[in-house]
Amino acid sequence: MTGPETIVLTRSEYDALIEEIEDAEDLAVLLEAEAREGRVGEAAVRADYLPLALVARLVEGESPVRIWREHRGLTVTALSECSGVAADAIAAIETGATPAPAEACRALAAALGVDPEDLIAGPRDGE
């Protein structure tokens, strides 16, 4: 035979295969999360989880900086002191008046214990 081998599947066989792959990926993520909880401790891992009410506020388009600041129990002033970012700059970022410059985003993320990507707001509905 010349050329690549070809396998033909019905749509239902293909869909079932894709579902099995997705299930295996989900299981791998779950097992990794459980392993991380075993290594670091459940409380430490779950400190990075946002409660559903805060997730809903993120989905509605509220500032991720504000959400994570509140989740960590910090005031704007305390976050300013921890991050070195001016309080008025944090307030402007949280209200959406100005986007966070990359350097400020990295400093805020480090102070909040999150990845900088966690502080970047996604587009709101209709944008």
Which two three-digit tokens encode residue 127?
């944008």
- Given pLDDT bands bounded at 50, 70 and 90, which one contains residue 43? confident
Domain positions in the chain are: 11-45, 51-119
Residue 125 has pLDDT above 60, yes or no: no
Could you tell me which residue, 122 or 73, shows the higher pLDDT? 73
The residues, ordered by sequence, that sit 6+ positions from 68 with a Cβ below 8 Å of its Cβ are 112, 114, 118, 119
- CATH code for the domain defined by 51-119: 1.10.260.40
* Per-residue pLDDT reduced to its tens digit, 5-21: 999 999 999 999 999 99
The residues, ordered by sequence, that sit 6+ positions from 1 with a Cβ below 8 Å of its Cβ are none
The residues, ordered by sequence, that sit 6+ positions from 120 with a Cβ below 8 Å of its Cβ are 64, 100, 105
Report the pLDDT value the prediction gives residue 126, as an integer from 0 to 100.
Answer: 46
Q: How far apart are the first and last CA of the chain?
A: 53
Residue 127 has pLDDT above 70, yes or no: no
Q: What is the pTM of this model?
A: 0.66
Residue 1 has pLDDT above 70, yes or no: no
Mean pLDDT, residues 74-82 taken together: 97
When the pLDDT of each residue in the chain is averaged and rounded to a whole number, the result is 90
